[in-house]
Chains A and B, each alone.
Chain A
Amino acid sequence: MAGAWREADKALMRVVAFVAALLLLIGFASEASAHASLVFAEPRDGAVLTQAPKTVQLRFNESVTAGAINLIDASGKLRTDAVVDAKDEAIDVTLPADLPKGTQIVSYRVISADGHPVTGSITFSIGAPTENKPPQESGAGIDGLIWLTRLGLYLGLFAGIGGVFFVNWIAREQVASPVIHVSLIVGIVSAVASLALEGLDVLGLPLSQVLSVTPWKIALGTSLGPSLLIAIAALIAAMVALRGDVTGISRTLSALALAGVGLSLAASGHAATAPPELLTRPAVFLHATSVAFWLGALVPLVAMLRKPRLVLPVVNRFSRAAVPVVGVLALTGVVLATFQLESFGALVTTRYGIILLIKLALVAALLGLAALNRSRLTPALAGGEAAAKPLMRSILLECALAAGILAVVADWRFTPPPRSIIADAPLAVHIHSDKAMFQVLVSPGRVGFDDFVLQLMNGDGTLLHAKEATLTLSLPQRGIEAIERQGTLEPDGFWHVSKVPLAVPGRWHMRIDALVTDFQKITLEDDLDVATQ
């Protein structure tokens, strides 16, 4: 019996070896061969049509398998209701009947017979090319949910993780407070929900699409992806640190979680990405960890004040540490506000500024209470247990104010800071290698149709005489494959490419090929941040 099994094993091994060899060969074979190419498109790339076509036909020079075929309509929405029909070298996309007027993009990723992916995009316009305008707002329902999940996330990060840190480092004993535990859970749920909602928002999809893979994948690709993953990891670390007694391990975990709060918020968002990032990212990190330290203390303090006799040394410890923390908070806050606002006027003329003013008023009230606690109510605690009641009431009020601040701040998700609104100046990108320098001007540099001016120079700054210049743009994150346009050399000595459809905001990849001689070209690549407004 055993012998028979061994034989079977050997046979199995041979089959496995054979399959492995086969796969290896196929792998090599497909590496050696190459791609199909698009030979015909109806409507043709760049066409302006009076009426919406029923279908888009793509024809390749050999049989292809359809990979991702995406339709992005003139309002910048990824449409899920286009029907793709692929057979041999033909791909037909049946378009939905309700396409808005303006420019639509059909992006294709197909697989050649040999397994090599081939990608590209064609655009066509119905009526006339889309004018530059901000894309339609996503549904108010989603906006409300996004705000709510932001708030939930802040609760988890500040009250939850901040609370765990307080328990481990200031109180130095477990504090029976279910609020911290609940905050952490709310934080995790909100972080996961944020991810899905962000994906839906970016793609302009309704809430019903939340269970499909695409929005999740897209959101993970944005800067919010890593930010939320860090947040979730920190929240879980804090939950572990909350279990059992305060030990070396739980203290380490809680400190790591607190750092996670800073890292998470510094990884994404308006403030962290404001130039100069070398300054703003660390500022956001310090600001966020300070907030967590301060707000995190409030909930456990209330819980501990129920037994006022034990609480005095804890309150004193917190009080001592809080002074420098509030200093850091104020300093980093001022730095960040300066970079975001750029002028005092923006405080009252922009929604961003007004939100900041409300926040500052609430923070002032919070600081007033904190000062009162420190100078009057805390010292009174030494006098007797009766003094605990006023301190407790004051801290509860602080909690309410803190919740208000977070609710206000969560609204910043929807308001671009003034620094990014003034962008009516064209976007300038400088790409450099040892061989060449390309200066690229993109106007208006926003979502819509953009004109590109390419200034091609040699490495030493002299004019680069090119025979051809090709501009290629793609946004793979959003399923838009290469849009390719030839530049024309105009009398000003620059290469011009007009009306390139940058249909959606995001970090586009830009590639410029300058043909120097028939046999030599210089290729430089860079990214281009395209904003909504």
Chain B
Amino acid sequence: MGARMIIRLSILVAAALAAAPASAHVTLEGKQAAIGTDYKAVFIVPHGCAGSPTVKLRVQIPEGVIATEARPVDGWKLDTVKGKYASEYDVKGSKVSEGIKEVAWSGGELPDKTRQDFVIETYLTDRLKPDTTLYFPVVQECGQGVSRWIEIPADGAAPAHEGKWPAPGVKLTKP
């Protein structure tokens, strides 16, 4: 085997693995996002709850994430819950103190083992801390049962994979 051959093979294997349907958790597409910029959060729902189809997905928008706009999904009803933020944010010259705090898609039916993406457009204020992980707790309601992807590791703990129901998260970077 020549060195080039090995490199090609390695790339091939890497590509195959990367393309494999990744996770059984509800996760966010992409590994990191910069604060002080727009952020398109893509929630990947790879399956239902223990075999039962997904009928509702609720996402909580964490503090410091503003200007939220959720994309409709065909066959699903989109609802949002608005409310006051804990603090006031100064964005591009205007002050923002309230907005969407929760997004819910319901009324659809996503069979088990079928992947669907749910998209929320947001702006990450620079009040968020770089080099931390921003978590979006998600409640997945199914025909039978509920999966709550809401486990957030305690401060200082490693971004745990140990939890059974980790909240989807994204690593924050400097602008």
Enumerate chain A interface residues (CB-CB to B < 8 A). 11, 14-15, 17-18, 21-22, 25-26, 29, 31-40, 61, 112, 114, 515, 518-521, 523
Q: Is B151 an interface residue (CB 8 A)?
A: yes
A selection of 20 A-B contacts at a CB cut-off of 8 Å is A14-B1, A14-B3, A15-B6, A22-B10, A22-B13, A26-B17, A29-B20, A33-B22, A33-B23, A34-B25, A35-B24, A35-B164, A39-B51, A40-B51, A61-B47, A61-B50, A518-B60, A519-B58, A519-B60, A521-B150
Interface membership of chain B positions 11-49, coded 1 if the CB is closer than 8 angstroms to chain A and 0 otherwise = 001100110101111000000000000000000000100
Q: Is B9 an interface residue (CB 8 A)?
A: yes
- A521 near B161 with CB under 8 A, answer no
Q: Is B171 an interface residue (CB 8 A)?
A: no
A38 CA to B145 CA, complexed, in Å: 13
A39 CA to B51 CA, complexed, in Å: 6
Kindly provide the distance from the CB of B173 to the nearest chain A CB, expressed in whole angstroms: 20
Q: Cβ of A25: which chain B residues have Cβ within 8 Å of it? A: 13-14, 17
- A18 near B6 with CB under 8 A, answer yes
Q: Cβ of A37: which chain B residues have Cβ within 8 Å of it? A: 50-51
Residue in A26, A32, A61 whose CB lies within 8 Å of B112 = A61
A520 CA to B136 CA, complexed, in Å: 11
A401 CA to B137 CA, complexed, in Å: 70
Residue in B1, B112, B164 whose CB lies within 8 Å of A15 = B1
A36 CA to B112 CA, complexed, in Å: 12
Q: Which 4 A-B pairs have the closest CB atoms?
A: A34-B24, A39-B51, A519-B137, A519-B60
Q: Is B78 an interface residue (CB 8 A)?
A: no
Q: Cβ of A29: which chain B residues have Cβ within 8 Å of it? A: 17-18, 20
Which residue of chain B has its CB nearest to the CB of A30? Answer: B17
Kindly provide the distance from the CB of B89 to the nearest chain A CB, expressed in whole angstroms: 21
A519 CA to B164 CA, complexed, in Å: 15
- B47 near A11 with CB under 8 A, answer no
- B151 near A521 with CB under 8 A, answer yes
A112 CA to B3 CA, complexed, in Å: 34
Q: Cβ of A36: which chain B residues have Cβ within 8 Å of it? A: 24
Known: A11-B1, A22-B13, A61-B50. 17 other contacts (CB 8 A): A17-B6, A18-B1, A29-B17, A31-B161, A34-B23, A35-B24, A37-B50, A38-B50, A61-B112, A112-B24, A518-B60, A518-B139, A518-B148, A519-B60, A519-B137, A519-B148, A519-B150
Residue in B14, B18, B150 whose CB lies within 8 Å of A520 = B150
Tell me whether chain A's interface is mostly helix, strand or loop, or mixed: mixed
Q: Cβ of A11: which chain B residues have Cβ within 8 Å of it? A: 1
Q: Cβ of A520: which chain B residues have Cβ within 8 Å of it? A: 137, 150
Q: Cβ of B17: which chain A residues have Cβ within 8 Å of it? A: 25-26, 29
Q: Cβ of B14: which chain A residues have Cβ within 8 Å of it? A: 25
Kindly provide the distance from the CB of A11 to the nearest chain B CB, expressed in whole angstroms: 7
Kindly provide the distance from the CB of A12 to the nearest chain B CB, expressed in whole angstroms: 11
Which residue of chain A has its CB nearest to the CB of B24? Answer: A34
Which residues in window 92-150 of B have CB below 8 A to A? 112-113, 137, 139, 148, 150
Kindly provide the distance from the CB of A220 to the nearest chain B CB, expressed in whole angstroms: 24
A32 CA to B25 CA, complexed, in Å: 9
A523 CA to B20 CA, complexed, in Å: 33
Kindly provide the distance from the CB of A509 to the nearest chain B CB, expressed in whole angstroms: 13
Q: Cβ of B18: which chain A residues have Cβ within 8 Å of it? A: 29
- B10 near A518 with CB under 8 A, answer no
Interface membership of chain B positions 149-175, coded 1 if the CB is closer than 8 angstroms to chain A and 0 otherwise = 011000000000100100000000000
- B112 near A518 with CB under 8 A, answer no
Q: Cβ of A31: which chain B residues have Cβ within 8 Å of it? A: 161
Which residue of chain A has its CB nearest to the CB of B62? Answer: A519
- A518 near B20 with CB under 8 A, answer no
A193 CA to B134 CA, complexed, in Å: 54
A33 CA to B18 CA, complexed, in Å: 11
Q: Which among A39, A112, A114, A523 has the highest number of chain B CB atoms within 10 Å?
A: A39
Which residue of chain A has its CB nearest to the CB of B26? Answer: A34
A54 CA to B111 CA, complexed, in Å: 33
Kindly provide the distance from the CB of A29 to the nearest chain B CB, expressed in whole angstroms: 5
A343 CA to B144 CA, complexed, in Å: 56
Q: Cβ of A515: which chain B residues have Cβ within 8 Å of it? A: 148
Q: Cβ of B161: which chain A residues have Cβ within 8 Å of it? A: 31
Q: Cβ of B58: which chain A residues have Cβ within 8 Å of it? A: 518-519
- A33 near B24 with CB under 8 A, answer yes
- B51 near A61 with CB under 8 A, answer yes
A381 CA to B104 CA, complexed, in Å: 96
A21 CA to B10 CA, complexed, in Å: 7
- B23 near A32 with CB under 8 A, answer yes
A26 CA to B20 CA, complexed, in Å: 11
Kindly provide the distance from the CB of B153 to the nearest chain A CB, expressed in whole angstroms: 11
